[in-house]
């Protein structure tokens, strides 16, 4: 369910306002079985609630996804390392890498729980500047140009955009697909979230997925990076092997 163009894609920058392809929600649902091998902690392990700890964080740090500085060493075993993200080990949470940058790294990561899915993209950001306010304006403008509708509202991750995309099914039937654009500004990083599938906040699958996203940890790293440079997703070695096997089976 790629949300980003794979043509001329560079590691040093990315289009954070790119509109996901309209069939994204369907793809996320059909890929669940194929990505079963790439599940967080092989469907085992649990993450304790971080609500009380997040509330105690210094002003300026996000309440989720979290910065690496907000996680103590004794919590690290509760996460699977995907490079840009430390993903909580939650039973039933499926992981799918998206937009390959090279043989081992990817531009984004999709997390899915039941009917709900979200694609996450992490980029470097200036410490003195927040990106989400300007990006919301860009998304609204791009959405209007494409003839789609966009509503700004307050949600689980602050100000978010509910986008309705006009779609046409293979049988010629026309309809709409809803997607939620959310953004989280970290200390020197920014994460864009695009929810699809069951996007209602009252849906039980979405509630579980949002809990997983809020427990997610962003690993910016100390290396110099230009603003909006992609922080690459890197699969653990064992999952890289499993993914290669899945791809071979799909091509057979």
- The string of pLDDT tens digits covering residues 136-188 is 999 999 999 998 999 999 999 999 999 998 887 888 888 888 999 999 999 99
CB 19 within 8 A of CB 146: yes
Beta bridge pairs of residue 159: 154
Task: Give the model's confidence band at 17: pLDDT under 50 very low, under 70 low, under 90 confident, else very high.
Answer: low
Write out the E strands in 12-67: 66-67
Residues 149/137/215/59 CA torsion (nearest 10 deg): -140
For residue 29, pLDDT over 70 is answered with: no
Place of tokens 């509910």: 162
Residues 10/231/5/132 CA torsion (nearest 10 deg): -120
Task: Return the CATH number at 223.
Answer: 3.40.1000
For the ranges 26-30, 36-40, 160-164, the one whose mean pLDDT is highest: 160-164
Q: What is the mean pLDDT of residues 102-120?
A: 94
The domain of 181 spans 78-246
Assess if residue 216 is contained within a domain. yes
| Structure confidence at residue 15 (pLDDT) | 61
CB 122 within 8 A of CB 232: no
Q: What percent of the chain has pLDDT over 90?
A: 55
Task: Give the model's confidence band at 82: pLDDT under 50 very low, under 70 low, under 90 confident, else very high.
Answer: very high
Assess if residue 66 is contained within a domain. no
| Structure confidence at residue 14 (pLDDT) | 59
Assess if residue 181 is contained within a domain. yes
User: Residue 106: in which H helix or E strand, if any?
Assistant: strand 105-113
Assess if residue 67 is contained within a domain. no
Residue 110 or residue 28, greater confidence: 110
For residue 199, pLDDT over 80 is answered with: yes
Q: What is the mean pLDDT of residues 55-63?
A: 56
* Residues 46-50: contacts with CB under 8 Å, at least 24 apart: 46/78, 46/89, 46/90, 46/91, 47/78, 47/79, 47/88, 47/89, 47/90, 47/212, 47/215, 48/78, 50/214, 50/215
Give me the sign of the Cα torsion angle 149, 202, 160, 9. negative
Say how many residues make up the chain. 252
Assess if residue 44 is contained within a domain. no
- 218: exposed, middle or buried (C-beta count within 10 Å: 0-12, 13-18, 19+)? buried
Domains in the chain, number: 1
| Structure confidence at residue 63 (pLDDT) | 85
Q: What is the mean pLDDT of residues 90-119?
A: 94
Q: What is the mean pLDDT of residues 58-74?
A: 83
Assess if residue 19 is contained within a domain. no
Q: What is the mean pLDDT of residues 72-84?
A: 93
CB 212 within 8 A of CB 113: yes
What whole-number distance in Å separates Cα of residue 118 and Cα of residue 109?
8
Task: Give the model's confidence band at 45: pLDDT under 50 very low, under 70 low, under 90 confident, else very high.
Answer: very low
Assess if residue 14 is contained within a domain. no
Q: What is the mean pLDDT of residues 40-56?
A: 39
Give how far Cα 198 sits from Cα of 40, 159, 167, 184, 209, Å: 20, 19, 17, 21, 10
Mean pLDDT of the chain: 79
For residue 251, pLDDT over 90 is answered with: no
CB 153 within 8 A of CB 162: yes
pLDDT digits (tens, 9 = 90+) for 208-244: 999 999 999 999 998 999 999 999 999 887 777 776 7
Assess if residue 203 is contained within a domain. yes
């Amino acid at each position: 369910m790629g949300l980003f163009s794979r043509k001329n894609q560079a590691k040093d920058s990315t289009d954070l306002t790119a509109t996901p392809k309209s069939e994204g929600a369907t793809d996320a649902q059909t890929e669940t079985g194929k990505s079963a091998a790439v599940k967080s902690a092989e469907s085992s392990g649990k993450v304790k609630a971080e609500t009380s700890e997040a509330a105690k964080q210094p002003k300026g740090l996000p309440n989720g996804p979290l910065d690496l500085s907000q996680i103590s060493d004794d919590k690290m075993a509760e996460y699977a390392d995907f490079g840009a993200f430390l993903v909580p080990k939650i039973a039933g949470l499926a992981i799918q890498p998206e937009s390959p940058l090279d043989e081992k790294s990817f531009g984004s990561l999709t997390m899915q729980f039941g009917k709900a899915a979200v694609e996450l993209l992490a980029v470097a950001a200036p410490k003195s500047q927040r990106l989400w306010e300007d990006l919301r304006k860009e998304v609204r403008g791009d959405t209007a140009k494409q003839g789609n509708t966009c509503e700004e509202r307050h949600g689980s991750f602050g100000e978010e955009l509910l986008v309705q995309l006009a779609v046409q099914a293979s049988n010629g039937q026309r309809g709409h697909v809803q997607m939620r654009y959310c953004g989280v500004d970290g200390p020197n990083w920014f994460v864009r979230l695009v929810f699809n599938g069951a996007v209602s906040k009252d849906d039980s699958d979405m509630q579980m997925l949002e809990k997983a996203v809020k427990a997610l940890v962003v690993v910016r790293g100390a290396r110099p990076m230009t603003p909006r440079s992609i922080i690459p997703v890197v699969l653990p070695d064992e999952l890289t092997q499993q993914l290669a096997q899945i791809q071979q089976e799909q091509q057979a």
